Amino acid sequence: MAQAADSYARSIALQPTSARSYYSMGKILYQAGQLGQAIAAQQAALRLDPGYAYAHNDLGNALYAAKGRADEVHISLYIYISISICLEYTYICICMYIYIYIYI
Q: How many structural domains is the chain composed of?
A: 1
CA 38, CA 69: separation in Å to the nearest integer?
14
Give pTM, 2 decimals.
0.70
Phi, psi of 85 (to 5 degrees): -110, 0
Query: Cβ–Cβ contacts within 10 Å for residue 52, how many?
Result: 22
Residue 55: CATH number of its domain: 1.25.40.10
pLDDT at residue 87 tops 60: no
Percent of the chain with pLDDT over 70: 73
pLDDT in tens, 16-39: 899 999 999 999 999 999 999 999
Classify burial at 80, counting beta carbons within 10 Å of its beta carbon; exposed 0-12, middle 13-18, buried 19 or more: buried
Q: Which domain range does residue 64 map to?
A: 2-103
